[in-house]
Amino acid sequence: MEQPLSQKLEIQTDAALSEKPSPRRRWIALGFIVAFWTFMAVLRGASGILDGEDLQQGQALREMLKAFSYYYFWALLTPGIFWLSSRYSIERANWSPRVLFHAAMALLVAMGVQIYYSVAYHAIEPPPHRWPFDPLADLLQLWFFNDLVVYIAVLAAGFARDYFVQSQARREETVQLQAQAALLRAQLAEARLQALRMQINPHFLFNTLHAVSTLVERNPQGVRRMIAKLSVLLRHTLESSSEQEVTLEKELEFLDNYLDIQQIRFQGHLEVHREVQPEVLSALLPNLILQPLVENAIQHGVSKTDGRGRLDVRAWREDERLCVQVRDNGSSFSGDGATSLTEGIGLSNTRARLQQMYGDAQSLTFQVADGGGLIAQITLPYHTAADLRAVVAEGV
């Protein structure tokens, strides 16, 4: 069974926080450790040389050997201390036992370093400069106190390093989750739009077939022409099923085929006038967005008039907005009749698609025209395919 999305995201979060560093990062970290302790060894060796008033032959070399043997021993211990700081972080629950554990480890390591340095000192320094070899006396005199301070400093550096790594991992995980959330929102919007399209297409098909059926007996030749036009419409619908936006020019081509069917249905009693600015033909708008408006104008306007029906389709640019208008000369609406318009599947899905794609930057309005009829107008942000490519290029 597939895991729930929330569980997947939790697993990915844990994986990101517990992800092991790459070998390259390990080598870089080791390089920093060696470089730091080398710097400290050079400082201590140089300090010992400068403090010596009467350096004997080879004393400078011995000072450097003592410094490097001491600090390189700390370099060997540092990765282990960093591991302890990561494994037993005091930020987690039950921090008090962890503090006691680190305190015990600090004492043990500091004592161990002091014993090691005593051995190294007596191996490097010839008599009579070496002190009596008694590591136990060195421990009782608390000579390891300086090593205790060094251990605490290294442990603090490990805590800081671990906090930084976890902070980076959380930041990367946050970016990843934001990207996944954006992708999920886009997929959800796509699914909703596709669902609306699936509702519109059968609705459009059923209404067109109904128009065909009205002429079966009266005009068989017209029916054949309508079926041919319908096949063109269906082919267009299938070929553009994956496109959410098309150019206004392509949308008008589809609308022309649909209106050809209606022209046959009304047998010359339908006039269609188009007024479209040439510069807006490349503007993008939702696929099959005008057909429901024209269908509504025919069903509630043109088909209700006693005389010759008329449809006006206009499109123009108004600043940064595209305006498309469909007007009929029907008599079904008068006065404030537009406010009482009942939106069926076609119109309600048209409104939902516009809201889903453009949010509050769009509008679908209806108003009664002077002299009768209804005006349906869509307003949405003006954009073209070139604009979208420019935005993508800037994002890259």
Mean pLDDT in order along the chain per 10 residues (396 residues): 42 47 76 87 79 62 84 90 84 75 86 82 68 61 77 87 82 81 64 52 65 71 77 71 83 89 82 94 91 87 84 95 93 55 76 87 92 91 85 57
CB under 8 Å to 13, separation ≥6 — which residues? 173, 177
Burial class (CB in 10 A: 0-12, 13-18, 19+), 280: buried
The predicted structure's pLDDT at residue 17: 44
- Measured CA to CA, the distance from residue 384 to residue 390 in angstroms comes to 10
The predicted structure's pLDDT at residue 14: 45
Partners of 326 in beta bridges: 313, 376
pLDDT digits (tens, 9 = 90+) for 162-182: 888 888 888 888 888 787 777
Q: Structure pTM?
A: 0.49
β-pair type (363-368, 374-381):
antiparallel
The predicted structure's pLDDT at residue 137: 64
DSSP code at position 46:
H
Q: How far is CA 3 from CA 51, 179, 181, 325, 381, in A?
A: 69, 20, 17, 48, 39
Map out the domains of the chain with their CATH numbers: 5-179 (no CATH), 214-395 (3.30.565.10)
Q: How far is CA 64 from CA 44, 51, 130, 147, in A?
A: 8, 13, 16, 19
Q: Where are the alpha helices (DSSP H) in the chain?
A: 5-17, 23-51, 59-87, 95-124, 135-140, 145-213, 220-239, 248-266, 291-300, 345-358, 385-395
The region, left, alpha or beta by phi > 0 then psi within -120 to 50, assigned to residue 142 is: left
- Measured CA to CA, the distance from residue 122 to residue 69 in angstroms comes to 12
Report the residue count for the chain: 396
pLDDT digits (tens, 9 = 90+) for 265-298: 788 788 999 999 999 999 999 888 898 899 889 8
Closest to 382 in 3D by CA, of 299, 318, 334? 318
Residue 64's SS3 state is helix
- C-beta atoms surrounding 232 within 10 Å: 15
The predicted structure's pLDDT at residue 16: 46
- Measured CA to CA, the distance from residue 353 to residue 293 in angstroms comes to 13
The predicted structure's pLDDT at residue 322: 96
Compute the Cα dihedral for 216, 219, 225, 230 and give only its sign: negative
Q: What mean pLDDT, rounded, does the chain reach?
A: 77
The CA dihedral of 217, 222, 224, 230, to the nearest 10 degrees, is -110
Burial class (CB in 10 A: 0-12, 13-18, 19+), 294: buried
Tokens of 36: 């730091």
